[in-house]
């Protein structure tokens, strides 16, 4: 393939939508599988929508995911600057060129006039097309207006007859009636380009070969093609992606309160799992393998795996995948990723004990789906919660309050005199021995012990694993509390 160049062109809104990240990922992967170049371009010409610090969400997301750009802000290549507001002066020249070649015109209509044209249907989603009032102004009129400093915009002069056909890699050939195409604004009265104009000029100047974006831009694409044709520029390959849905009817969106990429990370999803899952929302690898690291995707990604049916963002599937990723991590990597969550659950002091932390991480790793589950599950290590004595009663374990009290008293004596190795396996063996001696079942000692140590009906780890982590003194203290609660 020719020298492939792709770009991710976010408008900084302070929020990296899942759909944006998917676009970004695909652009990146198309560049990587073709040994091409991936460009980051910030589209910030819409100053009204400008949000301070909004670019951070883009940079943070890219840094976290490992999606590295080859050219972009802070990584200048031959086609910079890569922030559109820093390119503000170059678009006018191109717009004026189009006026000169008869593909665009000056429009001096006031806001009031334009507003009066709108029938209020915009509320209903009907698009408003300009009535082309200024399309045929005389040369003298235009010059007089320009001389007098009358504010103007530059509009694209669309053909009114015939049709325009364009090709999209995902959607195939699409034909539209030219008369439906709006004489859209290219250059605004503040001299800045509209998105519609700037993206064409920049994609050309930056030698972009593949344009990936959401299918909400499909209807504008014939207008872009008219611009490419007017300039005599080569049209890039278009890859419009179907929306990501939250269910059969609604798109995933910030407005609906759906999580952004960084929200998911904050909720304890692993970056690798999110990225893997997002890669599969609209792309199919062809085989049955679903697990791909970014490095694997860089080799496996194919354009013909792209699908035009909307993908449903299934949080349950993401959770499952996240759990699988957690299971596949080395204990060391898991400890590293889970540390903030472990610390939140245990408190700074307990979490400072590396040995304790490692043991608890080992207990929770096989059972964790998302990292944010961790703190609540392990908080009992730091603080024994208030609990009800019914927790001691367990049919299958053959325990009730009465025999639990007997068990805890036996265990108290045993632990007070215990001089052996304080490790789960040794303790387990000893307790089973004790059960034999006093003619109780193992479970009749282990269940009350686990309950007294955790104050919970479920806990990561069994009785002696908890005892090992809590240490002899704390184990004895918690057994005494249990005895007390059972009225002993």
Residues that bind ligand GLU (CB under 6 A): 9-11, 43, 195, 199, 213
Could you tell me the smallest distance in angstroms from the CB atom of residue 282 to ligand GLU?
15
Answer yes or no: are the C-beta atoms of 240 and 218 closer than 8 Å.
yes
Partner residues linked to 210 by β-bridges: 6, 237
Q: Tell me whether residue 44 or residue 410 sits nearer to ligand GLU (CB atom).
A: 44
Annotated catalytic residue, options 92, 207, 251, 254: 254
Strands 311-312 and 153-156: unpaired
Identity of the residue, 195 or 231, whose beta carbon is nearer to ligand GLU in the bound complex? 195
Nearer to ligand GLU, 29 or 384 (CB): 29
Its sign, for the CA torsion 329, 335, 339, 343, is: positive
User: What is the DSSP secondary-structure string of 22-62?
Assistant: HHHHHHHHHHHHTT-EEEE-B----GGG--TTTHHHHHHHH
Neighbours of 186 (CB within 10 A): 27
In the complex, least distance from residue 264 CB atom to ligand GLU, rounded to whole angstroms = 20
Query: Within the chain, what is the greatest distance between any pair of CA atoms?
Result: 112
What's the closest the beta carbon of residue 85 comes to ligand GLU, in angstroms? 13
Q: Which residue stretches of 54-138 are H helix?
A: 55-65, 90-100, 111-117
* Other Cβ atoms within 10 Å of 349 Cβ, number: 9
CA distance 187 to 315: 42
**Residue indicated by tokens 């070969």:** 209
State yes or no: is 75 an active-site residue: no
Tokens representing residue 250 in the block: 């609604």
Question: With respect to ligand GLU, which residue has the nearer C-beta, 17 or 394?
Answer: 17
Residue placing its CB nearer to ligand GLU in the complex, 41 or 394: 41
Nearest distance from C-beta of residue 346 to ligand GLU, angstroms: 42
Residue 268 beta carbon to ligand GLU: minimum distance, rounded to whole angstroms: 28
Q: Nearest approach, Cβ of 18 to ligand GLU (angstroms)?
A: 14
Which phi and psi (to 5°) does residue 467 adopt?
-60, -45
Q: 268: which DSSP letter?
A: T
> Do 65 and 58 touch, CB atoms closer than 8 A?
no
- Of 114 and 169, which has the nearer Cβ to ligand GLU? 169
> End-to-end CA distance of the chain, in Å?
81
Neighbouring CB atoms inside 10 A of 116's CB total 10
Active site members: 254
């Amino acid at each position: 393939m020719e020298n492939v160049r792709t770009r991710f062109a976010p408008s900084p809104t302070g929020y990296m939508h899942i759909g944006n990240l998917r676009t970004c990922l695909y652009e990146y992967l198309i560049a990587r599988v073709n040994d091409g170049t991936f460009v980051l371009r910030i589209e910030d010409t819409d100053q009204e929508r400008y949000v301070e610090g909004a670019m951070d969400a883009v940079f943070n997301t890219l840094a976290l995911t490992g999606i590295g750009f080859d050219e972009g802000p802070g990584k200048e290549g031959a086609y910079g600057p890569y922030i559109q507001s820093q390119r503000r002066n170059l678009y006018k020249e191109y717009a004026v060129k189009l006026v000169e070649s008869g593909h665009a015109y000056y429009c001096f209509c006031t806001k009031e006039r334009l507003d009066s044209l709108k029938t209020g249907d915009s509320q209903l989603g009907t698009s408003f097309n300009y009535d082309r009032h200024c399309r045929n102004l005389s040369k003298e009129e235009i010059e007089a207006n320009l001389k007098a400093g009358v504010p103007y915009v530059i509009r694209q002069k669309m053909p009114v007859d015939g049709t325009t056909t364009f090709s999209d890699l995902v959607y195939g050939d699409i034909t539209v009636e030219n008369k439906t195409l709006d004489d859209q604004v290219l250059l605004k009265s503040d001299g800045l380009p509209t998105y519609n104009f700037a993206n064409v000029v920049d994609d050309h100047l930056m030698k972009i070969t593949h344009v990936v974006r959401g299918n909400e831009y499909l209807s504008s694409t014939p207008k872009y093609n008219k611009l490419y044709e007017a300039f005599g520029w080569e049209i890039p390959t278009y890859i419009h992606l179907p929306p990501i849905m939250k269910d059969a009817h609604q798109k995933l969106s910030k407005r609906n309160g759906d999580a952004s990429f960084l929200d998911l990370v904050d909720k304890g999803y692993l970056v690798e799992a999110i990225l893997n899952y997002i890669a599969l929302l609209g792309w199919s690898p062809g085989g049955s393998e679903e697990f791909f690291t970014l490095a694997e995707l860089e080799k496996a990604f194919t354009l013909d795996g792209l699908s035009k049916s909307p993908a449903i963002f299934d949080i349950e599937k993401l959770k499952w995948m996240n759990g699988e990723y957690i299971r596949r991590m080395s204990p060391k990597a898991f400890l590293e990723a889970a540390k903030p969550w472990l610390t939140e659950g245990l408190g700074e002091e307990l979490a400072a004990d590396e040995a304790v932390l490692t043991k608890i991480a080992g207990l929770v790793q096989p059972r964790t789906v998302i990292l944010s589950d961790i703190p609540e599950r392990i908080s009992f290590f730091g603080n024994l919660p208030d609990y009800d004595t019914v927790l001691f009663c367990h049919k299958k374990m053959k325990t009730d309050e009465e025999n639990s009290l007997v068990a805890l008293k036996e265990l108290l004596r045993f632990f007070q005199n215990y001089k052996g190795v304080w490790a789960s396996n040794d303790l387990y063996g000893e307790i089973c021995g004790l059960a034999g001696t006093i003619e109780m079942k193992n479970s009749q000692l282990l269940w009350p012990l686990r309950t007294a140590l955790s104050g919970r009906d479920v806990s990561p780890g069994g009785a002696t694993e908890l005892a090992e982590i809590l240490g002899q003194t704390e184990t004895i203290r918690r057994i005494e509390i249990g005895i007390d609660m059972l009225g002993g």
